[in-house]
A and B are shown apart, each in its own frame.
Chain A
Amino acid sequence: MKSIRRQMALSIGAAAAILLIGGGAGLHLTLSKTLTGQFDKSLVTKAQALLIASEIDDGEFEIDLDVQAFAGFGSSSPGDYFEVYSEAGLALSRSPSLGTADLPLPENLISELSGFADLVLPDGVTGRAYWETFTPSDDLEGHFRGTRILVASDTSQLRKTLRTVAFVILSFGGGAILASLAVLYLVIGLALKPVGRLSADVQRIDVHRLSTGLVVDGFPVELQGVAAKLNELLARLEVSFARERRFTSDAAHELRTPLAELRAMTELGATWPDEFTAEHGREMLEVLAELESLLETLSLLAKADSEVSPHLEPVDLGAGVRESLERLDVDLKRRRLTVDSEISAGSVLTDPVLWRAIVANLLGNAVTYAAEGSTLRVCASPHLFSVENDAPDLDPPDLDRLFERFWRKSSSRTEKGHSGLGLSVVRAAATFLGGECSASLRGSRLLVEVRWGGMPPS
């Protein structure tokens, strides 16, 4: 499993290792160049000392032996050598440390007047040499023009020093890398502790009590925003889940009574066939019709609750209202209700299914709950549909609960065909269509209005 802590420690450790190795290599190179430079300078100084001490005596090239010893080329100095060659390449003089041997000649000794070169010394060790072309100051005749002096010293000490430096750099660098990895691991662990706590807190959240959420103040500033946003999302989820649970429970409750009726009727007929009459059959069909109607209403709500776009098409304003009123005609007459309508000509651009649901539910409610013998007032225009009726049983506090799903003023089932979903369907449909639905009490008259502010009429 990927771990942020391990990944960060390894990444930062790798970067630190690259930097340390680079730095170490740079340091070693610089030291090597500086020490080699100093080594070369000492070779030049020795050569200069020998040149100053050189002379032509009786036509012979000589170098004072004291100066040789002083410059470190005595027989007791095995690591330092010099040899002087004539322009023709004949050895004119050599250090006592060489004995009878010659120094190997660097390749570019002839072509260049002076220079440095690495070479293998007569005793088999590697060394470094400097050569210079000169003419002794007292060579008045010019016999020794083009004479070359080659000075060489053992570089084993220099190499040893550089190896020691390299070892120290590598040891300290490696140690530093390992130590920094450990420290990084700990520090990153400490820094990531709040992330771990956030993760643990999120895992501890009870799925049945989402609103308890996280304690935001306990987290560092960088995580407080995340925790706060999580809390906000959890709270919204809780509300949504609670609404779903209530809706499901209410829907199940609404289905229980008609199912109980249907089951009891079926059981009665199955156990005592002589009890089963045509009336029974009709009643069972009635129950089934109610169940179908309830399912249709629930489907409408599901459609209105969905987030797809409404299917808009022009719908004749008057036709929908008249059609609904015709269906309610029997009840209108039975309850001696009169309808005072004001319907604009033309059509409205809307979803025909939801529009019919709005009109049918508002008119159906008005016909059921209006006081007998009273007048319903219906208004329909491209921007408004409203129904007003006498509602003597309704109190102002009921307005707050009017649009709750499955809410009925009376919880009993004596009102056939009204599940308490009508107004919530109207509001959900109106909202889905971009409008809004509101209810108000004017004395004992209830006015329910559905407005489409932004919906252009066709």
Chain B
Amino acid sequence: MRLLLVEDSQRLRVTLVRALARLGYAVDEACGGDEAMASVGVHPYDAIILDLMLPGKSGLELLETWRRRGDLTPVIILTALASVADRVRGLALGADDYLVKPFAIEELAARLEAVIRRHRGQADSRIQVADLEIDLAARTVRRCGTSLSLTAREFSLLECLARHPGRVFSREQIEARLYGEADSPLSNAVDAAIYALRRKLSPGDEPVLIHTRRGLGYVLEERP
């Protein structure tokens, strides 16, 4: 899951990038309005965390521009402006959620998960593929009722594939969702991650669920 964090406070930005990375998100960061505008044009994001008072273009101007262009990427406004009028203005311009500083990282993550799920039309945070159960909100995975332990990146990779079971994802697509601009993954990082995830999803003799489509990419599906 790839996010864009637009925040002018450097300390908060750096801290949030670290925390979100630990939660399995790939995060790109922008410290001003113009930088954010440039990033959105280049990469597809699963969600954007947007401060309002920014140097250059303000957060509300950015949001208005994106929505006018038809970009419906979920946006969570993260700001010190706490008045009802500010919240209403932000939501009216197309923000999906509004979080006032100071906030809990745990709450930000839950809201991120919720807006992304809503955006994809998934009311339930749980996904089931064959005997594999994934709870995106609780960030837990069970196979045949047994709890599996995944790293944040592995969970992110599984989430990426599980949100669209049966759909083939290319290496590039997976890489774009798993790694931010600041990350520099090795060329076989995706293959290595897929290999590790396959092993963790089948600790016993369970059938493999992640399959390789030669020359195309990877797919999560149950095969008879």
A residues in contact (CB < 8 Å) with B: 249, 252-254, 256-257, 259-265, 267-268, 271-272, 275, 283, 286-287, 410-414
- Residues of A close to B16: CB separation below 8 A: 264
Report how many A-B pairs have Cβ atoms within 8 Å: 76
Additional pairs, 11, CB under 8 Å, beyond known A259-B101, A264-B12, A268-B19: A252-B82, A253-B81, A256-B80, A257-B80, A260-B101, A261-B11, A265-B11, A271-B105, A283-B11, A411-B53, A412-B8
- Residues of B close to A265: CB separation below 8 A: 11, 15
Q: Which 4 A-B pairs have the closest CB atoms?
A: A260-B101, A256-B80, A260-B102, A411-B53
- Residues of B close to A249: CB separation below 8 A: 83
Chain B contact residue count (CB 8 A cutoff): 27
Smallest CB gap from B108: residue in A? A264
Known: A256-B82, A256-B102, A259-B101. A414 touches B22 (CB 8 A): no
CB <8 Å contact, A264 and B80: no
Whole-angstrom CA separation of A249 from B80 in the bound complex: 10
A-B contact pairs, 30 of them (CB 8 A): A252-B82, A256-B82, A256-B100, A257-B80, A257-B101, A260-B80, A261-B15, A264-B12, A264-B16, A264-B102, A265-B15, A267-B105, A268-B15, A268-B19, A268-B22, A272-B18, A272-B22, A275-B19, A275-B22, A286-B11, A287-B11, A410-B55, A411-B58, A412-B32, A412-B53, A412-B55, A413-B9, A413-B53, A414-B31, A414-B32
CB <8 Å contact, B8 and A264: no
Q: Output the least CB separation between A290 and chain B (Å).
A: 10
Report if B42 contacts A (CB, 8 A). no
Q: Output the least CB separation between A247 and chain B (Å).
A: 14
Smallest CB gap from A270: residue in B? B105
CB <8 Å contact, B105 and A260: no
Whole-angstrom CA separation of A271 from B152 in the bound complex: 14
- Residues of B close to A262: CB separation below 8 A: 102
Whole-angstrom CA separation of A260 from B100 in the bound complex: 9
Whole-angstrom CA separation of A262 from B22 in the bound complex: 18
Whole-angstrom CA separation of A260 from B80 in the bound complex: 9
Whole-angstrom CA separation of A252 from B86 in the bound complex: 15
- Residues of B close to A271: CB separation below 8 A: 19, 22, 105
Report if B186 contacts A (CB, 8 A). no
Smallest CB gap from B10: residue in A? A414
Report if B182 contacts A (CB, 8 A). no
Known: A256-B100, A412-B53, A412-B54. A261 touches B12 (CB 8 A): yes
Whole-angstrom CA separation of A411 from B100 in the bound complex: 17
Whole-angstrom CA separation of A414 from B51 in the bound complex: 13
Q: Output the least CB separation between B139 and chain A (Å).
A: 13
Report if B104 contacts A (CB, 8 A). yes
- Residues of B close to A275: CB separation below 8 A: 18-19, 22
- Residues of B close to A263: CB separation below 8 A: 102-104
Known: A264-B19, A268-B19, A271-B22. A256 touches B9 (CB 8 A): no
Q: Output the least CB separation between A63 and chain B (Å).
A: 117
Q: Output the least CB separation between A291 and chain B (Å).
A: 12
Whole-angstrom CA separation of A272 from B55 in the bound complex: 31
Whole-angstrom CA separation of A411 from B104 in the bound complex: 24
Q: Output the least CB separation between B155 and chain A (Å).
A: 15
- Residues of A close to B10: CB separation below 8 A: 414
- Residues of A close to B11: CB separation below 8 A: 261, 265, 283, 286-287
CB <8 Å contact, A259 and B102: yes
Whole-angstrom CA separation of A256 from B102 in the bound complex: 6
Specify which of B15, B55, B80, B100 is in contact with A414 (CB 8 Å cutoff). B55
Whole-angstrom CA separation of A284 from B208 in the bound complex: 47
- Residues of A close to B22: CB separation below 8 A: 268, 271-272, 275
CB <8 Å contact, A257 and B12: yes
Smallest CB gap from A257: residue in B? B80
- Residues of A close to B9: CB separation below 8 A: 257, 260-261, 413
CB <8 Å contact, B102 and A413: no
CB <8 Å contact, A268 and B32: no
Whole-angstrom CA separation of A411 from B16 in the bound complex: 21
Whole-angstrom CA separation of A262 from B101 in the bound complex: 11
CB <8 Å contact, B31 and A264: no
Whole-angstrom CA separation of A252 from B79 in the bound complex: 12
CB <8 Å contact, B103 and A260: yes
Smallest CB gap from A259: residue in B? B102
